[in-house]
A and B are shown apart, each in its own frame.
Chain A
Amino acid sequence: MVMADAGIVEIKNLSKSFDDLVVLKDISLEVSEGENLIVFGRSGTGKSVLLKCIIGLLEPDEGEVIVKGKNIQKLKPKELNEIRRNLGFLFQGAALYDSMSVRENLEFPLIMNGKYSQKQLDEKIMRTLEHVSLTEAADKMPSELSGGMRKRIGLARSIITDPEIMLYDEPTTGLDPITSKEISELILNLQMKFNMTSIVVTHDLICAQIIADRAIFLREGKIFYQGVLSELENSSDPFLKNFFSNEIIKE
């Protein structure tokens, strides 16, 4: 059932535990079309788990995840795959297929989900590589790429299917500040160019400042705070103050 005027991603009372460890508790959230939402939180507060529940890699214990009006948990595998074609996911370590070249990595989601001539594939690959400024890497293997390049190629592979919603799991972790800034600007540019909705899990304040329309802060499995980024940064709450203080970020 497609609901009118609802967010493109809706999360209702979502809870998730692993054995005795409660990771997410009663999370409710709505993300509008074209919005850039940043998810903050300390390590282990369930940020990545939230993303994996949205894309159906993890099944929530309770609650619902509704993407484009469809309840992810109630979909049959074929329907879930169809919804996933509208979603892109950039993994923390980029998750490039080691045994395939960059070109084959990019081809893979296209070949597996549709019929393209070699010419169409080549054009699409080169066009996508241009978006991430890495056309020269087409015939390299993932092991030959630097951390930043891997992230860019991971991003290229995620957007090659023209997703409407992009999920980013710590897109700038492990990168130097300059590369980090470049990746963040790239994410923003892609979002503006293709009017994508983005949900970005990060610790990186610079990345958030570049991308965010709205931010939420997860603490102990719950949404501790949500609002525009500047409100979060300037909050008088001692915990948030501590998290966003320059000292902590420098650490």
Chain B
Amino acid sequence: MKLPRLILSRRLSFSEKFYNFFATLTGLTAFNLQFIKEVFIPPYEIKQIKVHMDELGVKTFPIVSITGFIIGLVLAMQSEPVLAKFGASDYLPSTVALSVVRELGPVITALIFAGRVSSGIGAELGSMRVTEQIDAMEVSGVNPFSYLVVTRVIATTLVLPLLTIYVDIIALIGSFLSVVITSGMNFNYYMDSILMSIKFADFIPSIAKTFIFGYIVGIVGAYKGFTTEGGTEGVGRASTTAVVMASLLILIFDMILVKLSLWLWPTLG
């Protein structure tokens, strides 16, 4: 796999930035195609996938727990006075639940995951590249793309949906606490309102898109790490640009996928 090299300089001219943009786009596309090709070729490194799911996924639980809880709590606190103004306080659980399940849960979890995991993969593979560890792997007859990239991308793709479901639940617990404090609503009423408002069709597309977000986080981090050049400075750059690129792509794909899901399931609108 030959990937276009970027122009590395502290001060880039406009045309050089333009070149780098398209070189990244072509490189990332080639990297994706290579992934699609290699994902089906044995050996399947199941053990490595499990290791990465633990390393990249399970260890993200603390930060997404705190974020999810606060998002749910704050969302309920912010929405309550607005709904109360229209005499619609009873709709608070369903409003929060729909916002969390449909949009905030998947996107915020994905952005936090990108911040922690894309940068981590970028830095890890980047430092392996500049210290010739990836070359060492290649000369010992091991395919580094399959061993390092495919395993990590599969792990991120599988882990993010699970994290999102978990964040959705934690956020709803956070919002319940807020609702209890402000209006004294009981748990049964809160749960009934949520279950009545959320349909299966709300849940499926929002979880489905997190597989794509997870894939983006993995593939962008791996691409940036795998193509690192320029020593330790390059490793830093790979880590930072991986987060920026993964976050932007998550938001762009979110927009596209929301539009697509509304088209496929018009009842969601």
Contacts and interface: CB of A to CB of B under 8 A. Distances in A.
B117 to A, nearest CB: 16
A108 B131 contact: no
A77 interface: yes
Interface in A54-89: 55, 57, 77, 81-82, 84-85, 87, 89
A113 interface: yes
Contacts of B183: none
A113 B132 contact: no
Nearest to A92: B132
B254 to A, nearest CB: 33
Contact of A109 (B131, B135, B142, B143): B142
Contact of B133 (A77, A98, A109, A112): A98
B132 A93 contact: yes
Given A93-B132, A98-B133, A77 B143 contact: yes
B139 A87 contact: yes
B62 interface: no
A103 to B, nearest CB: 16
B140 A91 contact: no
A109 B132 contact: no
Nearest to B141: A81
B192 interface: no
B54 interface: no
A151 B142 CA distance: 21
A87 B136 CA distance: 12
6 contacts: A57-B138, A84-B138, A93-B131, A95-B136, A97-B133, A98-B133
A161 interface: yes
Interface string B129-153: 0011101111111110001000000
A53 B131 CA distance: 18
Instruction: Give the interface residue-count category, chain B.
Output: 10 to 19
Contacts of A77: 143
B140 A95 contact: no
B7 to A, nearest CB: 10
Contacts of A157: 136, 140
Listed from nearest, the 4 A-B pairs whose CB atoms lie closest are A95-B136, A109-B140, A95-B132, A81-B141
Given A98-B131, A108-B142, A109-B140, 13 more contacts: A55-B139, A85-B141, A89-B136, A89-B139, A91-B132, A93-B132, A97-B128, A97-B136, A98-B127, A109-B141, A112-B147, A157-B136, A157-B140
Nearest to B45: A112
B77 to A, nearest CB: 43
A169 to B, nearest CB: 9
Contact of A91 (B127, B136, B141, B147): B136
B133 to A, nearest CB: 5
A95 B135 CA distance: 8
Interface string A133-170: 00000000000000000000000010001000000000
A89 B139 CA distance: 7
Nearest to A86: B141
A109 B139 CA distance: 9
Interface string B4-22: 0000000000000000000
B142 A113 contact: yes
Interface in A81-122: 81-82, 84-85, 87, 89, 91-93, 95-98, 108-109, 112-113
B261 to A, nearest CB: 39
B141 A84 contact: yes
A93 B127 CA distance: 13
A118 B133 CA distance: 25
A112 B142 contact: yes
Contacts of B147: 112
Interface in B192-236: none
A52 B134 CA distance: 13
Nearest to B51: A99
A231 B131 CA distance: 36
A203 B28 CA distance: 39
A220 to B, nearest CB: 24
Nearest to A85: B141
A109 B144 CA distance: 12
Contact of B135 (A81, A85, A91, A113): A91
